[in-house]
Amino acid sequence: MQAIDKVAVIGAGVMGAGIAAQVANAGLPVVLLDIVPDGAKDRNVVASSALQKMLKTNPAPLMHPRNAKRIQVGNVEDHLQWLSDCDLVIEVVIEQLEIKQDLYRKIEQHRKPGSIVTSNTSTIPLAHLVDGLPKSFQRDFAITHFFNPPRYMRLLELVAGADTRPEAIATLRTFGDRLLGKSVVDCKDTPGFIANRIGILWLGAAVRFAFEIGLTVEEADAVIGKPMGIPKTGVFGLLDLVGIDLQPHVEQSMLATLPEGDLYREVHRPSAYIERMIEEGYIGRKGKGGFYRLNRSKGGKVKEARDLETGEYRPAVAPSLASVKAGRQGMRALVEHPDRGGRYAWRVLSHTLSYAAALVPQIADDVHAVDQAMKNGYAWKRGPFEMIDQLGPKWFAQQLAKDGLAVPPLLEQVGDGSFYRLEDGRLQYFGTDGTYHDVQRADGVLLLSDIKRGAERVAGNRSASLWDIGDEVLCLEFHSKMNSIDEGIVAMISKAIKIVPSKGYKALVIHNEGDNFSVGANIGLGLFAANIAAWLQITESVKQGQYAYKALKFAPFPVVGAPAGMALGGGCEVLLHCDALQAHAETYMGLVEVGVGLVPAWGGCKEMLLRWSTNPRHPKGPMPAVSKVFETVATATVAKSAEEAKSLLYLRPGDGITMNRDRLLAEAKAMALAMAKDYAPPEPRELQLPGSAGETAMTLVLNDFRRAGKATDHDVTVGKILAHVLAGGNTDPTATVSEDKLLTLERNAIVSLLKTPQTLDRIEHMLETGKPLRN
Amino acid sequence: MKDVVLAGYARSPFHFASKGALVKVRPDDLASAVVKGLVERTGVNPDDIEDLALGCAFPEGEQGFNMARLVVLMAGLPISVAGVTINRFCGSSMQAIHMAAGAIQMGAGEAYICAGVESMSRVPMSGFNPMPNAALYQTMPEAYMSMGETAENVGREYNISREEQEMFALDSQQKAVAAQSDGRLAGEIVPIQANGSNIDADGCMRPDTSLEGLAGLKPAFDEKGTVTAGTASPLTDGAAATLVCTAEYAAANNLAPLARIASFAVSGCQPETMGLGPIFSSRKALERAGISAGDLNVVEINEAFATQSIASIRDLELDPSTVNIDGGAIAIGHPLGATGARITGKAAQVLQREGGRWALSTQCIGGGQGIATVLEAV
């Protein structure tokens, strides 16, 4: 593979800027160029304003604001010579063939010999892009199609041309996978590649049939969302998000390039209703509203939905369709349900899934590639072929035939079988050659789900399991609801600590493949115990958690945490007790307990104090570490990336960050094995804390915040109790405080807070609404 | 009695803390550059200097050790020059002038450098290790009250509306901007080298300030209050220095005195309305000088907040046209330890420039104090 040490992105629109940001997130210098607008004083204005915008956009394209420094802005008139030391040039300009080709000719004059050039086109076939360009250019050219926003959407579609060097493709695949953290899917050079080809038909079908069958937008989204394993924006919410005005362009470009007889041509119907919305500026969230809008006119915020017949807005109502409830039993129960939701689900799925089945091998070599693309590009939980397997391929084919829809050859070919099967613990897919093939993982990818298919767990209960992940490393997996920490997990931590040394394991990795590593402690149990005034039991269960986490920290073997997604509250605290972390770049850690009127009490306060008080770059004395932890915890600060977590010391300086989630477990395991050589557990430490003086200093801050309207009364109550813990209780700055003493302070703090009705209100509110209560 | 005079005044440009041009400049470097500049500009023979008295409100971190002595060494003053760091919060460098004048009257030397510095970027307000006495806080929480809250208290006690504060702030900005553009400030500024660039002008002023803009700001300290970021002095980095010596020494050494120090005073007051400190201390100082407020031609009052400035002007019955002619701290900035030297040097300079006989410099001090100096034209 070629080295990619520097990248150029040409075109600083939303996609170009987003791609440049992700390259910067990967640690590489990147040149970002755009045109010089007529009469511009600052000739770099387009690229430099894109860079400024990046710093303000939410969700942020940059994983840390300082990554912006890696992006050098310029323009295509003055700075094309900068391409001479770039190993990869990504073109992200307007979708017009002439403009792109003109740019390619200029790039060809300046680029480094043998460098790779790609286009992020979503509509123009590669063959057209390189038509008439020199052979040398064609050999180095490919399509890299990112999804918006490039930092967060995992799919990267990779398309090779007839003359593209295989080494260039291999380089792009590795670059996309390891550095940008993408799931790279090889596509054929066909319109819309994989994800948009299927996605546009799905959207078109879902909109059209909602009108035809007469569903409300809320009903349609309720059917499309959870029951189908599609993000809860469903179809209308998704259109609002991406912009309704974009749809006609996308549709037209597909119609212009799709082959005759393509199913999309049949499904597509121009909609006067939507045309009117666009004309009137109802183009979604970026406009006056879309199929939904937030009406703020009467002071509050009222979510409204648009009536699909009258075009009037009315307050949104939670739909109650029997089919959606039935859908909890599986997709078959959904599509077989006789109500309009069931009929709608069937019509959308029958078209979408049969379309996908008809397109293999036309758009991709195999069904697995199609499923990967839809899961990572459209955030579907299941790909089309996994959905067909759930419905039953044979039943699905029969129903298609009954409806007079074409049964694709691949579906006929799979017959009584399924598109996926397990063979000796290995996942296999049904190939176009009529036989099954192992699903191949890239080198260095280790998935817990693959391990689980082929093995029995070493130990486990309802909430957690222990798995042998090879090379004498044990993996602790959480699988409680939302991976919240409960007594089952605590028990399995204690069990792991016994099993690792007794059964000859060298190290423990804590990892799971849930959307979120852990959203925190199971506060529902705490609320229940507080309501029956079971204070002793509460103290006892907090103590058990503290002891389990402490035992992890001082265990005679290395413990490596490998989080991805949210790691909040108790889920953050378990990671703070690991010897090291290998975190996915998209890890969101935070001690958010104050949001439910509590303080971190499973050693979170203690561990953060230890980290800040030994940070050599922080001022000395009894207060600086305390102030910093107070600021972080009292405001429930959540790191918005693993890189940000390093700045907050949720991650230590030596902890690792993995860009590609699929590589996380393997890298954590390698780290654990490296640490296992000559491992010595840490020694307990003593801390010098300020005592009453520090508590008073923090109280002053709290009172000022209250007065300025930045804190509520209960924020102050919680803050004062937090201040008491962080100050080391009634200690004196000349004395020291042990780790155990801090745990006692944490425990007392949580019990006293659970005795306040305001904290119980916060917990109840969080359980009911998922949002914090400001009381 | 010997006559004690101010025979020189210089300062650094003042810039916003944390975002201004001086963020990366250490406070001891900043102070020594200004001291050096003062010595060069006045032409005083450094061997004659008894002591460098340096005011600083949070003398820790880079402002720690005995910064004054270190600044003596850094500024290349003779090894015989002593150094003392003085803390009376915002009154620190005016206190330095008072101590020098008192010492000179005692015959303890003929020439002093009285300076002050604060890098509010590099040493936060309250310092790195704020450790208040819990027992005192229990019985007298106002001893540690935030300055913003005391400003609200003064505003309420004196019925000073938000609009009145904003008019005052706008006036301060306009006077400072005019002084800057007329070149009335350049002469006192010692350029500072920072990050390879030459910083030679103030950076806190907001020439585009308008009443509409001010009215749009949220209260900064009390959600129901009237004090905003626009009617309070900003967190500032800066240093200032004066030369204090006997009139005889100035004459014998061809120095150009700006004004005679006629009297001074300090006074305690309620901590929760510390902004009224100038009233009590100024009354004492005026009485000691044997004059009344009506005799004053020039007044420099530190604009910690608009409320306390307005209250002090009102109670002292000062003529507003004599107050802060070149703008005040709301516009120029308030690097705590440096302000006393700035406004006293400024009062002397303006008195000489504008003519007249008497000038007053005065300021409020956190914890409940005021400090004042009366100057007489020479």
Residue-wise DSSP of A127-180:
HHHHTTS-HHHHHTEEEEEE-SSTTT--EEEEEE-TT--HHHHHHHHHIIIIIS
List the structure tokens of A755.
């005795």
Interface test with B, best of A695, A700, A705 (most B CBs within 10 A): A700
pLDDT over 70, % of chain A: 100
Question: Which residues does chain A have within 8 Å of residue B137's beta carbon, measured at their own beta carbons?
Answer: 696, 699-700
B114 is catalytic: no
Q: How many helices (H) does chain A have, and how many strands (E)?
A: 32, 25
Residues A10, A711: Cα–Cα separation, whole Å: 46
Question: Which residues does chain B have within 8 Å of residue A701's beta carbon, measured at their own beta carbons?
Answer: none
In chain B, what are the helix, strand and coil shares in percent, each to the nearest 5?
45, 25, 35
Under 8 Å between Cβ of A649 and A608:
yes
A25: nearest Cα among A562, A663, A658: A658
pLDDT of res. A544 = 95
Eight-class DSSP state of A179 = I
B140 interface with A at CB cutoff 8 Å: no
A693, B128: Cβ pair inside 8 Å?
no
Which amino acid belongs to residue B276? L
A295, with CB counted inside 10 A (0-12, 13-18, 19+), is middle
pLDDT of res. A296 = 83
Task: List, for residues A533-588, the tens digit of each pLDDT value.
Answer: 899 999 999 999 999 999 999 999 999 999 999 999 999 999 999 999 999 999 99
Q: Kindly report the pTM of this predicted structure.
A: 0.91
Q: Shortest Cα distance from A709 to chain B (angstroms)?
A: 5
Question: Which residues does chain B have within 8 Å of residue A698's beta carbon, measured at their own beta carbons?
Answer: none
What b/e sequence results for B245-275 when a residue is b if at least 16 CB atoms lie within 10 Å of its CB, and e otherwise? bbbebbeebebebbbbbbbbbbbebebbbbb
Residues A29, A50: Cα–Cα separation, whole Å: 16
A621, B146: Cβ pair inside 8 Å?
no
Interface test with B, best of A612, A696, A703, A716 (most B CBs within 10 A): A696
CATH of the domain at B309: 3.40.47.10
Q: Are both B105 and B51 inside the same structural domain?
A: yes
**First-last CA distance in chain A:** 57
Q: Which of residues 615-674 of A touch B (CB under 8 A)?
A: 619-624
3 state SS of A114: coil
State the sign of the Cα–Cα–Cα–Cα dihedral A750, A754, A757, A758.
positive
B151 in a structural domain: no
Element containing residue A20 per DSSP (H, E):
helix A14-25
Q: Are both B247 and B302 inside the same structural domain?
A: no
Q: Is the pLDDT of residue A334 over 90?
A: yes
Mean per-residue pLDDT, A296-302 = 79
Q: Are both B263 and B117 inside the same structural domain?
A: no
Q: Which of residues 108-137 of B touch A (CB under 8 A)?
A: 126, 128-134, 137
Residues B18, B124: Cα–Cα separation, whole Å: 10
Residue A69 backbone dihedrals phi, psi, to 5 degrees? -65, -20
Q: Are both B248 and B265 inside the same structural domain?
A: no
B334 is catalytic: yes
Peptide bond into A361 cis (omega under 30): yes
Question: In this complex, how many residue pairs, one in chain A and one in chain B, have their CB atoms less than 8 Å apart?
Answer: 58
pLDDT over 90, % of chain A: 92
Q: Which of residues 39-68 of B touch A (CB under 8 A)?
A: 61
Q: Shortest Cα distance from B29 to chain A (angstroms)?
A: 20
3 state SS of A233: coil
Place of tokens 């303890």: B108
B56 is catalytic: no
Residues B114, B130: Cα–Cα separation, whole Å: 27
Residues A255, A2: Cα–Cα separation, whole Å: 38
At A316, the pLDDT band (50, 70, 90 cuts) reads very high
Q: Are both B56 and B112 inside the same structural domain?
A: yes
Q: Shortest Cα distance from B271 to chain A (angstroms)?
A: 15
Query: SS3 for A548-600, per residue?
Result: HHHHHHHCCCCEEEECCEEEECHHHHHHHCCCEEEEECCEEEECCHHHHCCCC
- Long-range Cβ contacts of A401-404 (<8 Å, 24+ apart): A403/A350
B148 interface with A at CB cutoff 8 Å: yes
A222: left (phi over 0), alpha (psi -120 to 50) or beta: alpha
The radius of gyration computed from the CA coordinates of chain B, to the nearest angstrom, equals 19
Task: List, for residues A712-724, the tens digit of each pLDDT value.
Answer: 999 999 999 999 9
A292 beta partners: A305
Which amino acid belongs to residue A118? T
Residues A150, A154: Cα–Cα separation, whole Å: 8
Q: Are both B307 and B239 inside the same structural domain?
A: no
B118 beta partners: B238
Mean per-residue pLDDT, A492-512 = 97
CB neighbours of A298 closer than 8 A, spacing ≥ 6?
Answer: none
Residues A747, B228: Cα–Cα separation, whole Å: 41
B283 in a structural domain: yes
List the structure tokens of B129.
């290790």
Q: Are both B114 and B247 inside the same structural domain?
A: yes
B174 in a structural domain: no
Name the active-site residue from B56, B90, B204, B245. Answer: B90
A445: nearest Cα among A659, A184, A666: A666
**Which of B201, B223, B252 is a domain's end point?**
B252
At A643, the pLDDT band (50, 70, 90 cuts) reads very high
| Tens digit of each residue's pLDDT, chain B (378 residues) | 789 999 999 999 999 999 999 999 999 999 999 999 999 999 999 999 999 999 999 999 999 999 999 999 999 999 999 999 999 999 999 999 999 999 999 999 999 999 999 999 999 999 999 999 999 999 999 999 999 999 999 999 999 999 999 999 999 999 999 999 999 999 999 999 998 899 999 999 999 999 999 999 999 999 999 999 999 999 999 999 999 999 999 999 999 999 999 999 999 999 999 999 999 999 999 999 999 999 999 999 999 999 999 999 999 999 999 999 999 999 999 999 999 999 999 999 999 999 999 999 999 999 999 999 999 999
Q: Is the pLDDT of residue A215 over 80?
A: yes
B140 in a structural domain: no
**Which of B195, B226, B252 is a domain's end point?**
B252
String of DSSP letters for A298-326 = TSS-EEEEE-TTT--EEE------HHHHH
Q: Are both B96 and B239 inside the same structural domain?
A: yes
Place of tokens 């992006």: A71
Q: A499: how many CB neighbours lie within 10 A of its CB? A: 18
Q: Which domain holds residue B295?
A: 259-377
Instruction: Find the CB nearest A708 among B126, B137, B223.
Output: B223
CB neighbours of A756 closer than 8 A, spacing ≥ 6?
Answer: A597, A714, A717
B133, A700: Cβ pair inside 8 Å?
no
Q: Shortest Cα distance from A735 to chain B (angstroms)?
A: 15
State the sign of the Cα–Cα–Cα–Cα dihedral A323, A324, A326, A330.
positive
B326: nearest Cα among B107, B109, B9: B9
B296 in a structural domain: yes
At A287, the pLDDT band (50, 70, 90 cuts) reads confident
**Which of B193, B217, B252 is a domain's end point?**
B252
Question: Which residues does chain B have within 8 Å of residue A693's beta carbon, measured at their own beta carbons?
Answer: 131-134
List the structure tokens of B334.
């308030």
pLDDT of res. A300 = 77
Residues A493, A479: Cα–Cα separation, whole Å: 13
At A526, the pLDDT band (50, 70, 90 cuts) reads confident
Instruction: Find the CB nearest A621 among B126, B129, B222.
Output: B129
**Is the ipTM beyond the 0.85 threshold?**
yes
3 state SS of A706: helix
B188 in a structural domain: no
Q: Shortest Cα distance from B336 to chain A (angstroms)?
A: 20
Counted domains in chain B: 2
pLDDT of res. A616 = 85
Residues A450, A439: Cα–Cα separation, whole Å: 10
Element containing residue B159 per DSSP (H, E):
none
Question: Which residues does chain A have within 8 Å of residue B149's beta carbon, measured at their own beta carbons?
Answer: 704, 707
Residues B249, B3: Cα–Cα separation, whole Å: 10
pLDDT of res. B167 = 98
Q: Are both B242 and B313 inside the same structural domain?
A: no
Which amino acid belongs to residue B104? I
Q: Which of residues 670-729 of A touch B (CB under 8 A)?
A: 690, 692-697, 699-700, 704, 707-709
pLDDT of res. B1 = 73
At A455, the pLDDT band (50, 70, 90 cuts) reads very high
List the structure tokens of A705.
């915040």
Residues A440, A424: Cα–Cα separation, whole Å: 15
Q: Are both B239 and B373 inside the same structural domain?
A: no
Residues A29, A67: Cα–Cα separation, whole Å: 9
B42 in a structural domain: yes
In chain A, what are the helix, strand and coil shares in percent, each to the nearest 5?
50, 15, 40
Q: HSE-up of A149 (CA within 13 Å, CB side)?
A: 17
Q: Is the pLDDT of residue A617 over 90?
A: no
Q: Is the pLDDT of residue A618 over 90?
A: no
Under 8 Å between Cβ of A725 and A599:
yes
Q: A453: how many CB neighbours lie within 10 A of its CB? A: 14
CA A210 to chain centre: 29
* Torsion angle (degrees, nearest 10) of CA A660, A664, A665, A668: 150
Q: What is the mean pLDDT of chain A?
A: 95
Which amino acid belongs to residue A595? G
Q: Are both B273 and B334 inside the same structural domain?
A: yes
Question: Which residues does chain A have within 8 Å of residue B219's beta carbon, measured at their own beta carbons?
Answer: 708-709
pLDDT of res. A93 = 96
Residue A226 backbone dihedrals phi, psi, to 5 degrees? -55, -45
pLDDT of res. A1 = 78
3 state SS of B301: strand
A665: nearest Cα among A504, A449, A379, A425: A449
A690, B129: Cβ pair inside 8 Å?
yes
B195 in a structural domain: no
A621, B219: Cβ pair inside 8 Å?
no
Angle in degrees, CA B340, B346, B352, rounded to 5? 145
Q: Are both B289 and B304 inside the same structural domain?
A: yes
State the sign of the Cα–Cα–Cα–Cα dihedral A127, A129, A133, A136.
negative
pLDDT of res. A572 = 98
pLDDT of res. A709 = 94
Mean per-residue pLDDT, A747-773 = 94
Residues A518, A56: Cα–Cα separation, whole Å: 28
Q: Shortest Cα distance from B127 to chain A (angstroms)?
A: 10
Provide the residue count of chain A. Answer: 775
B367 interface with A at CB cutoff 8 Å: no
